[in-house]
Chain A
Amino acid sequence: SAVISQKPSRDICQRGTSLTIQCQVDSQVTMMFWYRQQPGQSLTLIATANQGSEATYESGFVIDKFPISRPNLTFSTLTVSNMSPEDSSIYLCSAPLEAGALRETQYFGPGTRLLVL
C-alpha cells in the first residue's frame, strides 16, 4: 500500500510563532485531508485540500489560522499560525489510497506532535 509521510514528527514552539507541517504521499491523489487530534480527544477534520483549488475548511477552522497549500497531487502543507498553547495537538494528514471514489478508504500519516509553550 502507498505510504504517507509527515515532517516534522514533533516540535516545540513558542506562542505567537507559526509552524508548517508537510505531508507527502507516494502516489497521486485528488484530495488530501488534515485532521487535529487534541489530547484525549478524537480526530477532528480541519480541512480538505484539493489540488488546484482552495482548501475547504470545516466549521470552526479558518484559512487565516490554518493556511493550506496543495501544489501538486502528492504533497500538501498545513501551517498553524500565531500559535497558542491551545494549538498543542497531533496534526495528521490523510489521503484516500484505494481506487474508486465511492469505496475510498483514508489512510493516515504518522502525525506531527506539536507542543506550544
Chain B
Amino acid sequence: AQSVSQHNHHVILSEAASLELGCNYSYGGTVNLFWYVQYPGQHLQLLLKYFSGDPLVKGIKGFEAEFIKSKFSFNLRKPSVQWSDTAEYFCAVKPYGNNRLAFGKGNQVVVIP
C-alpha cells in the first residue's frame, strides 16, 4: 500500500518568513497529488492539486507545490507567510485510476505575528 510521509510535524515561524513543507510518497506508479489545509475550527479544504503537465502547481493563497517524480516528492511552498496561514497542512496521494486517497500525518504550522 502507498504511504505518505510528512516531516517536521510542528512548524513555527514568523510572518514574512518562507515556508516549505516536505511530502514524500511510496508508490511506483502514476499518482495524483494533493495538498489540503485545515484552518482552526474549519473543515478540510483543497489547497492545490497535481494530475499531469507542469510539475510546478500554483494553488490558492499564494501557495505552490513542485512535483519531482525522481524523488517521489510534492513539496509545498509559500515565499512569505501570513498569520492567517496558521493551519494544519495535509499531503495526500491517489494512485492514478484508484479512488483511495492516502494522507500524510500533517504539518501543524503556526505563524507568529
Contacts and interface: CB of A to CB of B under 8 A. Distances in A.
Interface stretch (B44-52, B56-64, B68-76, B78-86): B44-52
A108 B44 contact: yes
Interface string B21-36: 0000000000010101
Contact of A42 (B46, B51, B90): B90
Interface stretch (A16-24, A61-69, A76-84, A97-105): A97-105
Given A41-B105, A42-B90, A43-B103, A105 B43 contact: no
A53 B96 CA distance: 23
Interface string A15-36: 0000000000000000101000
B40 interface: no
B51 A111 contact: no
A76 B42 CA distance: 22
A96 B46 contact: no
B30 to A, nearest CB: 10
A92 B44 contact: yes
B46 A107 contact: yes
Contacts of B105: 41-42
Contacts of B46: 105, 107
Contacts of A102: 51, 96-97
Interface in A81-117: 92, 94, 96, 101-111
Contacts of B34: 105-106
B97 A106 contact: no
A48 B44 contact: no
B99 A110 contact: no
Nearest to A104: B99
Interface string B80-113: 0000000000100010110111111110000000
Interface of A: 31, 33, 41-45, 48, 92, 94, 96, 101-111
Across the A-B interface, the 5 shortest Cβ-Cβ residue pairs: A110-B43, A108-B44, A43-B103, A42-B103, A42-B105
Given A42-B103, A102-B97, A108-B36, 9 more contacts: A31-B99, A42-B104, A45-B101, A94-B101, A103-B32, A106-B34, A106-B94, A108-B45, A109-B43
